[in-house]
Amino acid sequence: MAKLSAGPGDTFNRRGIMLDLREMKTLGIYVQVPFCQTKCTYCNFHTGVVSSARFAPYVNCVCGEIAGHWRLYEAAGIALPAAIADSVVDTIYIGGGTPSLLDPAHLRRIVDAVRCYFVAELMEVTLEADPETVTEEKAAAWVAAGINRVSFGVQSFCDAELQAAGRMHRREDVYRAAGILRGAGIANISFDLIAGLPKQTAASWRESLDSLVELAPEHVSVYLLEVDEGSRLGSEILRGGNRYSAGDVPGDDAMAEFYETACGVLGRAGYEHYEISNWGRPGFASRHNLKYWRREAYLGFGAGAHSFSGTERWANAHDAAEYVGAITAGRLPVEQLERLTAASALEEELFLGLRQLGGIDVGRIEREYGVSLDSRFARLTFAGLIEREGCLVRLAPGRVSISNEVFVELMK
Ligand code: SF4
């Protein structure tokens, strides 16, 4: 990894050793911004609606956590493998919440902190943005800060669905914001859609997909509505009530059909379906998110941010005030810390790896973990749930929408 003689543009690690970036492992950085303008009815994330006066102190703490991460981890009992110190950061993902609410100068400080305290060769810097928050001034400042990818919370092109879900934007905001981003030079835009919103029908879902294809984003994520106690809409559905248009939520069969329609429409429009919920034009799969499914290392900063070092997983405290208090006091508020066993790492290889439609290399996994997976896969191959081609195993085409069933079987 170390080179022999220095030249212009050479990079050194924290121990002063010169690095050859081409030979280094890559590292992803995730930054969580847990603030929103309002709470969407279906939202089960730990985000809050707070005064904008709390944004700057929060960003100070995130930058402080980035600057002092090595010392903070050590004090919290987290042992970063040496390979991570010598990794090159190639992706940053600023998610939320609604990070596009922050002053662009705050976002710039975060990106600059990563550049300053890590060896960074940034290929993909993503900002999650809600359409109504996008202005020409902000978009220009984002590009100047180094942001080159925007993940857009579109969710639907149908105003009745957006209104029922408590979203702040409307269809025309999506068109306006997409035009601004293109004008500012953002050449990599991702749109999120949700299948299963209240008032959604087969026709309105098709309309959202067709509108999306017309706007030609480089990347698309399609999520199914999650029904659980964590959201106002979810708990209303579970108790059989009708607030938040809970009675107008499509059933499971309709949702499965919507997913299949998305697969058809996006496939015909030239998008590659590379992960259960994600499609990209060739060359536009999310470099950052691929790290999650490939079990590559990433460090998360901010309240509720998750990290993975290859051997340990941990998460910061979800409560933003608790996070700010702890970081201000010089302490990392770790909420969960898990040292992975060989068995749990193997489960992750299967569970996360098979989310990628390209499949997993079973030969590599068997060699690395010293196990044989033949009997586990034989059952699923026989049932037609997965297909095997030599060392490659993947979800069978047409079975992706029942992937949860496959995962349950696989873990038996
Ligand atoms: S914008 Fe996103 S994070 Fe914020 S409340 Fe809505 S769904 Fe939740």
- Other CB atoms within a 10 A radius of the CB of residue 90 amount to 21
- Index of the ligand 1 atom closest to the CA of residue 44: 8
Closest residue by CA, ligand 1 atom 2: 97
Ligand 1 centroid–CA 282 distance in Å is 29
Does residue 398 surpass a pLDDT of 60? yes
pLDDT at 18: 58
At residue 2 the predicted structure's pLDDT band, cuts being 50, 70 and 90, is very low
pLDDT tier, 86 (very low <50, low <70, confident <90, very high otherwise)? confident
> What would the two tokens of residue 113 be?
């902190």
pLDDT at position 103: 98
How far is the centre of ligand 1, averaged over its atoms, from the C-alpha of 143 (Å)? Answer: 24
Cα 151 to middle of ligand 1, angstroms = 13
pLDDT at 406 over 90: no
* Nearest Cα residue to atom 5 of ligand 1: 39
| Mutation pick for ligand 1 pocket among 32, 38, 40, 155 (CB with most ligand atoms within 8 Å) | 40
Q: Is 280's pLDDT higher than 60?
A: yes
Inform me whether the pLDDT recorded for 32 exceeds 60: yes
Those residues with Cβ within 8 angstroms of residue 314's Cβ, 6 or more apart along the chain or in another chain: 76, 78, 306, 307, 334, 335, 336, 337, 338
Please report which confidence band the pLDDT of residue 397 belongs to, taking 50, 70 and 90 as the band edges: confident
- pLDDT at 276 (0 to 100): 92
Quick check: 410 pLDDT over 70? no
Residue 8 has pLDDT above 60, yes or no: no
pLDDT value, residue 375? 87
With 70 as the cut, is the pLDDT of residue 21 above it?
no
Closest ligand 1 atom number to CA of residue 39: 5
Comparing 13 with 150, which gets the higher pLDDT? 150
pLDDT score, position 20: 60
Q: What is the mean pLDDT of the chain?
A: 92
User: Using one digit for the tens of pLDDT, what is the confidence trace for 306-323?
Assistant: 999 999 999 999 999 999
Residue type, 52: S
Residue 181 CA to ligand 1 center (angstroms) comes to 21
The pLDDT value recorded for residue 376 is: 86
What's the confidence (pLDDT) of residue 5? 42
* pLDDT tens, residue by residue, 257-279: 999 999 999 999 999 999 999 99
Mean pLDDT of 360-366: 95
Query: For residue 96, with 0-12 CB atoms within 10 Å meaning exposed, 13-18 middle and 19 or more buried, which class applies?
Result: buried
Ligand 1 pocket test target in 47, 155, 173 with most atoms within 8 Å of CB:
47
Query: Which residue CA neighbors atom 3 of ligand 1 most closely?
Result: 97
Residue 4 pLDDT exceeds 60: no
Nearest to 116 by CA among 63, 74, 72, 79: 63
Query: Once rounded to an integer, what is the mean pLDDT over residues 76-104?
Result: 95
- Which residues does 80 contact at the CB level (< 8 Å), separation at least 6? 70, 73, 309
Mean pLDDT of 63-69: 98
Return the ligand 1 atom nearest residue 130 CA. Answer: 1
Residue 6: predicted pLDDT: 47
Residues with beta carbon inside 6 Å of ligand 1?
36, 39-40, 43, 45, 47, 96-98, 130, 153
Higher pLDDT, 118 or 19: 118
Averaged pLDDT for residues 362-372 = 95
* pLDDT tens sequence across 173-218: 999 999 999 999 999 999 999 999 999 999 999 999 999 999 999 9
Q: How far is CA 23 from the centre of its chain?
A: 26
Q: What is the CA radius of gyration of the chain?
A: 22
